[in-house]
Structure 1
Amino acid sequence: MYSPIGEYDIKSIQLQFSDVLTPKEKSKNIEIYTINDTHGAADTIVDSSSKKYQSGIKKLSAYLVSEERKRPEEVVALCSGDMWQGGIQSNRSRGKSMIDWMNVAGFESMAIGNHEFDWKPETIEENSSFADFPFLGINIRDANGNRPSWAKPSTIVSRGGVRIGVVGAIGDVASSISVSSLSGYSFHWSETPKMVEEEANRLRYQEGCDIVVLSLHGSSSSNAANCDLWDGVDGVLEGHTHSSYFFIDKKGVPHVQTYANGSNIRSLKFAYDENANKYKYVSNANVENAYLSSLEDEPMASKVYDHYEESVSSLKKEVLYHTEEVISKSELASFSSKCLYEYYEDKYEGTRKFVGAAINSGAARQELNGDITYADLINALPFENENVFVHIPFNYFQAMQKNSYYSTYSSDVSDISFSQEVEIVMVSYVSDKASEQSKYHFSCDDRDGTYYLFDIVADAFREGKYAS
């Protein structure tokens, strides 16, 4: 087992139950807790001025571990993906800090999300060997149509003689992953409902599961009133859209999702109905940030946090820039594209002539204000895309500048003709998309993966370029 904390036993809670109990002896109630899209948010942050609410792993564990210990035969903890990428501890350890926390918090599974692919499938595979729980992705297939060994279709959890089947799937989110990071994998979304139904039926009728839930890194909330995708399951634990909600679909199946960054925890509760001789959904709960952030730090999670904090504490203390005004996400994206252009224009002065740069506007994930530390900047610009040198007709670059999907910067182009081919710098998230290449008639040349966007922008902040 991966245990970087030395003598400390990283496995938190040993829960073993008999699977041969009669219905009268089984637990009458099962409560399934879920979180999603934690994005490596290890720190506790409650800041109403910036509307930033992170419970932090020490507070999340305080609640989950307490519930697990009070009701060990009733409580299950699951998560629905995008757990690693974002916070500085997790980014610097490529998700291992969050795996270690999830181990001590007692999670039983993780549905794979789109941002688990940010560091490519090799990292998912490596991290799966450190986890005490399976990664789930029934619909993930490689270029040959095979499901990888690190993406299990389902898992079974036992609590008080009750068998809970968990099917895991990733949503229709392939377009939100860079082509290079996706590495030839696909998600077969149109076939996913049938895959889930067949696996749910197998769990229920062949494996004897009393409850079957779907852990999905995707959301059905936009079609809540008419949602009828998921036959065979008793509940759906969702993710991806960072929206906290509960609804019951037209087939009577409950759905939940939490906010991002560990702000809250949600749950679905099932109770045994003696007349129907089965477990039925009875209620849901929303454990909010205001309560979570008031709890005492949980000791095991604190040890995990402290271990990884040692390697990043200096970066969290380094103030790159101070501003009295909020730098919005759009302003940060605009500044970042300018920094990207200036960095490579200086680096290749005299050998290449760039006329601009382009990033996706969504690359900037958070606004900034006050003292901006290196850690703050990584949280705001977390993606480690390569920087790609692109040849594009000037008129198509102009069209790109008018598209709000992009945040662009252009140098003095007064002497460039309408159809002349020019060179710009682009992040690989957008440059590698065939649809964008076709739409804007550009081709990719060289690429540089040695210096990421957040480091380029960090240097610019250090040098005071934002003020200018």
Structure 2
Amino acid sequence: MLRFKAVGLFLGIWLLAATALAGGDYTLTILYTNDIHAHLAAFDEFGAFCDKAKDAAGKCQGGAARLATAVARERAKGGNSLLLDAGDQFQGTLFFTKYKGEASAFFMNRLGYDAMTLGNHEFDDGPATLANFIRSLKFPMLGANVDVTASPDLKGLVAPYIIREIGGKKVGIIGLGQPKTAQMSSPGPTVTFAAAAGPVKKALAELQAKGVRIIIVLSHLGLTGDKKLAATVPGIDIIVGGHSHVLLGNDFPEAVGPSPLVIDGPDGGKTRIVTAGYWGRYLGSLTAAFDADGHVATMTGNPIRLDAAMPEDPATLAEVDRFAKPLDAFRATVVGQTVNALGAAMCRQEECTAGDVLAESLLAGGRRFGATMALVNGGSIRAGIAPGPITLGDVLTASPFPNTLTVLTLTGADLKAALEHGVAHVGLTDGTGRFPQVAGLTYTYNPAAPAGSRIVAVETADASGHFTPLNPNADYRLAVSDFLFRGGDGYAMFGKNGRDVEADGMAVADLIATWLGQNNPLRLELDGRIAVAQ
């Protein structure tokens, strides 16, 4: 009798093991980041440099040292894992201003990333800087929809996908860049960007032919693009996304959806989407169990908050301090003082004080060329500024792009078209960086109206500061950045229809520093120059 019981017990254990193998025995944990934007040192709630006093008060978050701790803790749990980045390591703090990607590469190598895809900001300093960055990486750069074959700098440095064998299973990772990078950044004429679906389908076919059944897409399309891709292209298990600066998470007030976000595919399958906000405020974590055919059996996870409760890894912090030391001279130069915080959190959808500062600075710089108004894209504002002294480091952190001043003449009709373009994506998760912050004009818009018909009223200032309703047939002198004049963020009307163009090469950061000095101390509050129709 005991013998039969032993045989029965053995068979039961064998059946349980077989069931486990068939139903999800292979697990893979994906750790992910996106849109770090050179935030290698800890920062405060405004995105500004976090000093010792703020650290002692528990007001610091993010940074490579906290990220190192979080990654080490997750890896210590054991099992199969990947560490992936969905693009935009470049641009956003003095670490990029000075090191042009060298510091970012150092810390990514130190943390042991497995792959990265190209973000649009990777091209901000041109292909040569990007090429140096990629050559210094110890892992591949991916971009299935990015053609660099005609680029002397980038040819051979970007792969469409990679295959990693982890725990005895082949995992395919496909990279996708932002298709509108040419409008958003400076890739030059020899780098081209395609829509996502075609390159992904091609890569999927090649991976499947090589026996790969687990497919991850590392994407910088933005959340809207990721949803569209998941709904139209079958065979994708997971999309790790970036570009939208939004969080998918569970039990986080700022999250715009759950993690993972499940999208039904065209073949009846399901694709899971994850993304971890921006600036390294979170480390994303997702654990998936796959069956023998590579199908997802279960999937769980949630981003990990990298706030003051997450300790900084001492060895990594020492390296951050080593890179930060030469930046002290930049940070130490005081250019002004602000009584109130210059907020940047809402610059992509409403008036913000950091946007007012940037627009007023361009207008002041453009007055010598006859400018009476200025328009800047909210996405060019990368951080706010806390009350107190304002240093050059604060300015360069808030406005890190190497943009210069351009002044042009536009008709009132073209100006209204630019404003319509700027507010067209309000309420969406992508393309909101175009939102127009302004000086020398006011406007009211209705976000509930169809895109292209949202501008309700516009008033413009003359040289004496007197406001009158916009005349569609009149000419106006407008100050913008050279980025917008080149058609950046889709503002094609500036370069196409602009007349009497003046561009003296004055750096936008210098204009801000000058304006702050002239308005010191600054007592700036929102004045309603941008209004929402009730």
Tell me if TM exceeds 0.5: yes
Alpha-carbon offset, residue 440 of structure 1: 7.8
1:360 aligns with 2:377: yes
Alpha-carbon offset, residue 101 of structure 1: 0.6
User: Which residue of the partner structure matches residue 64 of structure 1?
Assistant: 71
State how far apart, in whole Å, the 2-side matches of 1:198 and 1:48 are: 42
- Could you list the runs of 5+ residues in structure 2 that have no partner in the other structure? 1-20, 49-57, 249-259, 345-351, 424-434, 441-460, 525-534
**Secondary structure at 2:281's aligned position in 1?**
coil
State how far apart, in whole Å, the 1-side matches of 2:123 and 2:46 are: 32
User: Which residue of the partner structure matches residue 296 of structure 1?
Assistant: 311
User: Which residue of the partner structure matches residue 11 of structure 1?
Assistant: none
Q: Given that residues 104 and 300 in structure 1 are in contact (C-alpha distance below 8 angstroms), is that contact kept between their aligned partners in structure 2?
A: no
Alpha-carbon offset, residue 252 of structure 1: 1.3
User: Which residue of the partner structure matches residue 461 of structure 1?
Assistant: 516
User: Which residue of the partner structure matches residue 19 of structure 1?
Assistant: none
State how far apart, in whole Å, the 2-side matches of 1:316 and 1:63 are: 28
User: Which residue of the partner structure matches residue 299 of structure 2?
Assistant: 283
User: Which residue of the partner structure matches residue 436 of structure 2?
Assistant: 406
**Secondary structure at 2:113's aligned position in 1?**
coil
Aligned AA (2:212): C
Aligned AA (2:97): N
Any residues of structure 2 matched to 1:42-121 within 5 Å, and which?
A: 42-45=40-43, 47=45, 54-68=61-75, 70-71=77-78, 74-121=80-127
State how far apart, in whole Å, the 2-side matches of 1:188 and 1:137 are: 10
Alpha-carbon offset, residue 99 of structure 1: 1.2
**Secondary structure at 1:271's aligned position in 2?**
strand
Alpha-carbon offset, residue 436 of structure 1: 3.2
State how far apart, in whole Å, the 2-side matches of 1:52 and 1:201 are: 48
Bigger shift: residues 316-325 or 113-122? 316-325
User: Which residue of the partner structure matches residue 4 of structure 1?
Assistant: none
Distance 1:182 1:333, change over 3 A: farther
Deviations 1:363-398 (A, max 9, x none): 323333313333332232222223223243477558
Q: Given that residues 41 and 62 in structure 2 are in contact (C-alpha distance below 8 angstroms), is that contact kept between their aligned partners in structure 1?
A: yes
Aligned AA (1:437): M
Aligned residues: 431
State how far apart, in whole Å, the 2-side matches of 1:128 and 1:374 are: 29
Distance 1:95 1:378, change over 3 A: same
Distance 1:48 1:129, change over 3 A: closer
User: Which residue of the partner structure matches residue 483 of structure 2?
Assistant: 429
Distance 1:212 1:300, change over 3 A: farther
Distance 1:96 1:325, change over 3 A: same
Aligned AA (2:343): S
User: Which residue of the partner structure matches residue 447 of structure 1?
Assistant: 503
Alpha-carbon offset, residue 213 of structure 1: 0.5
Distance 1:167 1:223, change over 3 A: closer
1:337 aligns with 2:345: no
**Secondary structure at 1:379's aligned position in 2?**
helix
Bigger shift: residues 39-48 or 153-162? 39-48
**Secondary structure at 1:376's aligned position in 2?**
helix
Alpha-carbon offset, residue 241 of structure 1: 1.0
Aligned AA (1:248): V
**Secondary structure at 2:361's aligned position in 1?**
helix
Out of 310, 318, 321, the position equivalent to 2:325 is 310
Any residues of structure 2 matched to 1:362-381 within 5 Å, and which?
A: 362-371=379-388, 372-381=390-399
Alpha-carbon offset, residue 84 of structure 1: 1.8
Alpha-carbon offset, residue 446 of structure 1: 4.7
The normalised TM-score by structure 1 is: 0.79
State how far apart, in whole Å, the 1-side matches of 2:168 and 2:229 are: 35
**Secondary structure at 1:366's aligned position in 2?**
coil
Alpha-carbon offset, residue 331 of structure 1: 2.6
Distance 1:47 1:377, change over 3 A: same
Any residues of structure 2 matched to 1:225-236 within 5 Å, and which?
A: 227-236=230-239
Distance 1:281 1:257, change over 3 A: farther
Q: Given that residues 39 and 87 in structure 1 are in contact (C-alpha distance below 8 angstroms), is that contact kept between their aligned partners in structure 2?
A: yes
**Secondary structure at 1:265's aligned position in 2?**
strand
Distance 1:444 1:307, change over 3 A: farther
**Secondary structure at 1:310's aligned position in 2?**
helix
- Could you list the runs of 5+ residues in structure 1 that have no partner in the other structure? 1-22
Distance 1:223 1:213, change over 3 A: closer
Distance 1:448 1:109, change over 3 A: farther
Deviations 1:19-42 (A, max 9, x none): xxxx99xx9322111111111112
Alpha-carbon offset, residue 137 of structure 1: 0.8
**Secondary structure at 1:149's aligned position in 2?**
coil
State how far apart, in whole Å, the 1-side matches of 2:215 and 2:60 are: 32
Q: Given that residues 290 and 298 in structure 2 are in contact (C-alpha distance below 8 angstroms), is that contact kept between their aligned partners in structure 1?
A: no
Deviations 1:157-216 (A, max 9, x none): 2323332211000244337514x5554533211xx223212212322331x435221000
Alpha-carbon offset, residue 318 of structure 1: 4.0
Aligned AA (2:517): R
Distance 1:286 1:399, change over 3 A: closer
1:386 aligns with 2:404: yes
Distance 1:423 1:412, change over 3 A: closer
Alpha-carbon offset, residue 467 of structure 1: 4.5
Out of 146, 150, 156, the position equivalent to 2:157 is 150
Alpha-carbon offset, residue 231 of structure 1: 2.2
Any residues of structure 2 matched to 1:213-224 within 5 Å, and which?
A: 213-220=216-223, 224=227
Identity of aligned residues (%): 19
* CA RMSD, 1 decimal: 3.8
Distance 1:126 1:222, change over 3 A: closer
Alpha-carbon offset, residue 281 of structure 1: 5.0
State how far apart, in whole Å, the 2-side matches of 1:387 and 1:322 are: 24
